[in-house]
């Protein structure tokens, strides 16, 4: 397999103390991610994030400060992903929010901190040791 490095941008949207996540299904496995996606060649981080948030959540967002940067390596797929997370807020509230989707992206949902412990979140976000 081809070894590659990808850059992914994602938007951290908090509403009433809960974080918005997107459920993906790949190869029969379901997991949750912070909404976002891959950067296309020639695209700025912010343009990519605006596009991805619209595609995945239906929301037009304002981009705030950078919150987190992390990476992970998928050895089986021989790829490394650099994730860059930004704080986002919806421009017009949640009226255009898409909750259900078709394809690999199944749905979006808000989770409390307690609920996060009960789901599979990818990539696993933890402090370096």
The pLDDT score that the predictor gives to residue 29 is 87
Strands 105-111 and 18-26, sheet pairing: antiparallel
Residue 8 has pLDDT above 90, yes or no: yes
| Digit-coded pLDDT (tens) for 77-111 | 788 999 999 999 999 999 888 887 666 778 899 99
Residue 127 is assigned to a structural domain of this protein: no
Residue 125 belongs to some domain of the structure: no
Report residue 126's pLDDT band, with 50, 70 and 90 as the boundaries.
low
Residue range 5-23: average pLDDT? 96
Report if residue 110 sits inside a domain: yes
DSSP label of 121: B
Q: Is 52 helix (H, G, I), strand (E, B) or coil?
A: helix
Say if CB 90 and CB 60 are below 8 A apart: yes
CA distance 18 to 2: 38
> Which pLDDT band holds residue 123 (cuts at 50, 70, 90)?
confident
Summarised one tens digit per residue, pLDDT across range 26-36 is: 888 899 999 99
C-alpha–C-alpha distance, residues 81 and 6, integer Å: 5
In a domain, 122, yes or no: no
Task: For residue 124, tell me if it sits in a domain.
Answer: no
**Domains in the chain, number:** 1
Residue 38 inside a domain? The answer is yes
As a residue count, the chain comes to 129
Domain ranges, residue 107: 4-116
* Phi then psi dihedrals of residue 47, to 5 deg: -65, -40
Whether 129 is in a domain gets the answer: no
Answer for the pair 9, 52: CB distance below 8 angstroms, yes or no: yes
The reply to whether 86 falls in a domain is yes
pLDDT at 129: 44
Predicted confidence band of residue 1 (pLDDT cuts 50, 70, 90): low
Q: What is the pTM of this model?
A: 0.89
Which CATH number characterizes residue 38's domain? Answer: 3.90.79.10
């Amino acid at each position: 397999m081809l070894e590659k490095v990808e850059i992914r941008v994602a938007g951290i949207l908090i509403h009433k103390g809960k974080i918005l996540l997107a459920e993906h299904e790949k190869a029969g496995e379901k997991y949750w991610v912070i909404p976002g996606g891959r950067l296309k060649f020639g695209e700025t981080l912010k343009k990519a994030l605006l596009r991805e948030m619209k595609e995945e959540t239906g929301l037009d967002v304002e981009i705030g400060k950078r919150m987190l940067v992390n990476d992970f390596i998928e050895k089986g797929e021989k790829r490394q992903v650099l994730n860059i997370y930004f704080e986002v807020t919806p421009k017009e509230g949640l009226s255009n929010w898409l909750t259900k989707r078709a394809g690999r992206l199944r749905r979006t949902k808000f989770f409390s901190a307690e609920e996060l412990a009960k789901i599979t979140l990818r990539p696993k976000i933890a402090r370096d040791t």
